[in-house]
Amino acid sequence: MHYSKMTNIQIQNLLNRLGIKSVNESVCTGGQWITAIGSETKQIHSPVDGQAIATVTYATVTEYERVAKVAQSAFEHWRGVAAPKRGELIRQIGNKLRDQKDDLGRLVSYEMGKSLQEGWGEVQEMIDICDFAVGLSRQLYGLTMVSERPNHSMQEQWHPLGVVGIISSFNFPVAVWSWNAMLAAVCGNVCIWKPSEKTPLSAIAVHQIIKSVLVENKLPEGIFNLIIGDHRMGEKLAKDHRITLISATGSTRMGKRVGQIVGGRLGKCLLELGGNNALIVSEEANLENALKACIFGAVGTAGQRCTSIRRIIIQDSIYDKFIAKLINAYRQLKIGNPLDQKNHMGPLIDVQAVNAYLHAIAEAENEGGHVLYGAKVLSGEGYQSGTYVLPTLIEAKNHYKIVQEETFAPISYILKYSRLEEAIAMQNDVKQGLSSAIFTNNMQEAHLFLSAIGSDCGIANVNIGTSGAEIGGAFGGEKDTGGGRESGSDSWKAYMRRQTNTINYGKDMPLAQGIKFDI
């Protein structure tokens, strides 16, 4: 099928298959939709072809208050449900997502602009985290500890926090919500989701998919909640003392604002913020594999991943050779409608993102950078939306101001090094600390990169790229990336509170530290 442009009928049929009949219902409290009473609306355009997909109505303060109260009430019930029973609900949600993977992936692709393969992959991430959460429902473990007092035992328990607020970004319209929501829910929490105002339709579709599961299980309203709005609604979530944890994904600037607000009320934050990721290419690397990783890492999602490769650091002995390989590969990339699987790269999310792309290129050149390839906005047949650009390679220096910043676009800065220690120092010499990678077949180089004096990022990979993380490992980064961890490993602990219990099963009451207090 040729996807030059989706017709209105195709768009409506896709939305209908996903259960979206009306988008005036901007608030969902599990099994019930609340018709918006506000007057503020936003028209959602696809970056793929510029077409208007739908118009959404923003929720008001009145609707927000209803959602918050319903969520609080639902928590009173949900925290008392046995964890394996909560896991059973998540299992059913995962199966519903399997049934709707094709259509939901297509909507993600069309609304956000990522390739269809990536759209399907994002839904698969949701399915995978559901499977992970089901297993976790029987493993919410605590520790036992030896007491210093006779006839005493000590243990720790983990209890749900309460209402969890989830603020997600446009680049992963549904997957990041699932990372948080599925783990939070299996831990006994309820969720309020404020998706990106740029991609609300995918979020609405998700809640239509899971609604039937909640209804079939006769669960109360408020376990999974959705509220559509802009940054003001996100700020309202952050300020609300009833929201025990705010998980926010987005820019460092946004995260600092959220952290300041939530910290001011002594709430909990889980922040997944910007990345300025580097891939080091050693002279001892498999260059073909390194090339593939560079291409996907820089071009996947049109460079709009927090884990996208921003800097490629190449050893001097292979510098010219590898650059030639890069340029040759870039020239073969097919750019166009992401629903056409022959294309490697789709559009940027909107014209503002294109302007940021152009600004970064101009700044790099002003600082002395040299464009090796790209630096062009595409026009003509198939590019009428004005959101398609050429992926760009720029020879630069690590200290350039623009290189130190994250630009959400397919721009990679090419840097040169002589010794590995120099490359690692260069990689770490940015404010962000999300993902990192090295390509080398030298065991000593690989282990140095992974050591305490190596990469300072939350993710450090050897012989794979910076993006494409599996859900089994904890995902997140350090420094200006926020320090949060989502998805696998023991990330579930972020959604629970720790309680230390001491039990005296003896007949006396000795005090700790040998203190005497006789009466």
Residue 468's Cβ-count burial label (10 Å; 0-12, 13-18, 19+) is middle
Residue 117 is given by DSSP the state: H
Look up 272 and say whether it is catalytic: yes
Q: At what angle do helices 175-186 and 83-99 cross, to 10 degrees?
A: 160
- Tokens representing residue 447 in the block: 């282990």
Q: CA-to-CA distance for 27 and 247, rounded, in angstroms?
A: 19
**Which candidate in 122, 197, 221, 272 is catalytic?**
272
- Tokens representing residue 111 in the block: 């609304």
Q: Which amino acid is at 388?
A: Y
Q: Which amino acid is at 252?
A: T
Residue 330 is given by DSSP the state: H
- Tokens representing residue 302 in the block: 């049109």
Rounded (5°) CA angle 397-297-168:
105
Sign of CA dihedral 394, 396, 402, 404: positive
In 3D space, the residue among 162, 211, 201, 243 whose CA is nearest the CA of residue 30 turns out to be 211
In 3D space, the residue among 68, 265, 245 whose CA is nearest the CA of residue 167 turns out to be 245
Beta-carbon-side half-sphere exposure of residue 243 (alpha carbons within 13 Å): 30
Strand stretches in 366-439, DSSP E: 370-373, 392-395, 411-417, 432-433, 435-439
Long-range contacts of 116-121 (CB under 8 A, 24+ apart): 116/338, 116/339, 116/340, 116/341, 117/341, 118/300, 118/301, 118/338, 119/338
Contact 302, 113 (CB under 8 A): yes
Q: Which amino acid is at 498?
A: R
Look up 306 and say whether it is catalytic: yes
Name 277's bridge partners: 309
**Which candidate in 28, 187, 294, 306 is catalytic?**
306
Cβ partners under 8 Å of residue 394, min gap 6? 361, 364, 365, 369, 370, 371, 372, 375, 411, 412, 413, 414
**So which residues are the catalytic ones?**
272, 306
